[in-house]
Amino acid sequence: MLIDLEQKEIADIYSTPIFQQTSFWCNVKHKLGIPSDAFEFKVRNSELYSNVGGYSYTNGDFVILYQQLNADDCIAYIPYGPEVEPSEENQGNFLEELSEGLRSYLPKCCIAIRYDLNWESHWCKESDYDENGIWKGEPDKTYQELQLNFNTNNWNLKKSNSNVLPKNTLMLDLHDDNETILSRMKPKTRYNIHLSERKEVDVRSVGIEQLNAWYGLYCETAYRNGLHVNSLNYFRSVLAAKMDDTDKDVNVKLLIAYLGDEPLAAMFLVISSHRTTYLYGASSSEHRNLMPTYALQWKAIQIAKAMNCCEYDFFGISPSPDPSHPMYGLYRFKRGFGGDIFHHLGCWDYPLDQGKYQMLQAYEMNSHGYYM
């Protein structure tokens, strides 16, 4: 496979529904001290896709974020990219050729390229679901590596021990009208949405001046659930980056659900191209009986439709309805709104320094992942 690769300006990145692959997200990371680069590639369709001939080409691009591991080493992280998804049997060869092409562009201290692939898992065929339609999950790591390295020359693609972005999500189709979307939700979810309306929960789109209200709810939620707490500056960077950014295809909204003037729940919403993504959520321990989180989601769906989006990404659930999974609560809540579950391939690494990469693998063995 021959891939033409060249660096490009971040401001020239193509429009995409994957906001992590936009100039806006690079701007967010820049404000947090994380550098980035953008690359353009060109590859013949007959080498990307099965049963395709001729001489036509696909052009695509992607961004790389450089995550410092320590004083000496970093990894090149590609969040939910590249967006172009080859046929299964060509995916390993594509990633191998792309990785080798990137070598000369990367810093000398880079020990690996990490692809956080938004491509569909190879194990989502009919036989991968039980009689109740529940996903059985992926095979062991060794078998996954055998599958993805098919057609490669050096078998160097490694399944990461740590995922960064969610591997499993719920996508809601927004093509239908509001009543049809409501009718496809679970009865309890519809009831809770209408209950929040009767109790006069008011969802407002607010600006950066209300960031402290968001952060108070966010910290309360994180402490309640034993989660890692991001700094206030992290969320300020998300809003400030949008104010500075010139990417007209990306919009960011901070929504807060109030009872009178008391904030009950809040969320960050990112609109990119034709997709709206629910990025972060938080809620108070008070007045939970008023169902403010349901009011927020319904308002967000309506905003997405008003902005001509055709899909809503709930961004992160457990892979199946397993009560022992730490994200089961999110699965149960988000599943009530309808939609279809999508399973990503997750993080895959292409080591550039084998010795240092093995140390990284050992370090991440017990990691539960993080958002970057």
Instruction: Give tens-digit pLDDT for 272-319.
Output: 999 999 999 999 999 999 999 999 999 999 999 999 999 999 999 999
R_g (Cα) of the chain, nearest Å: 21
- Which tokens in the block code for residue 136? 């059985």
The residues, any chain, with a CB within 8 Å of residue 33's CB and separated by 6 or more, are none
pLDDT in tens, the chain (372 residues): 899 999 999 999 999 999 999 999 999 999 999 999 999 999 999 999 998 888 899 999 999 999 999 999 999 999 999 999 999 999 999 999 999 999 999 999 999 999 999 999 999 999 999 999 999 999 999 999 999 999 899 999 999 988 899 999 999 999 999 999 999 999 999 999 999 999 999 999 999 999 999 999 999 999 998 878 889 999 999 888 876 655 678 999 999 999 999 999 999 999 999 999 999 999 999 999 999 999 999 999 999 999 999 999 999 999 999 999 988 999 999 999 999 999 999 999 999 999 999 988 888 876 544 444
Residue 2, φ and ψ in degrees, nearest 5? -105, 120
- Looking at residue 367, its pLDDT comes to 58
Please report, for residues 8, 330, 337, 339, 366, the alpha-carbon distance to residue 325 in angstroms, rounded to integers and kept in the order given: 41, 10, 20, 20, 15
And the tokens for 114? 């990490």
Question: 220 vs 156, 282, 303, 359, CA distance in Å?
Answer: 43, 8, 26, 35
Residue 97 CB partners (closer than 8 Å, separation 6+): 1, 2, 3
Instruction: Report d(CA 253, CA 268) in Å as an integer.
Output: 6
- Confidence (pLDDT) at 162: 83
Give the Å distances, CA to CA, from 28 to 19, 99, 124, 144, 152. Answer: 11, 25, 33, 33, 35
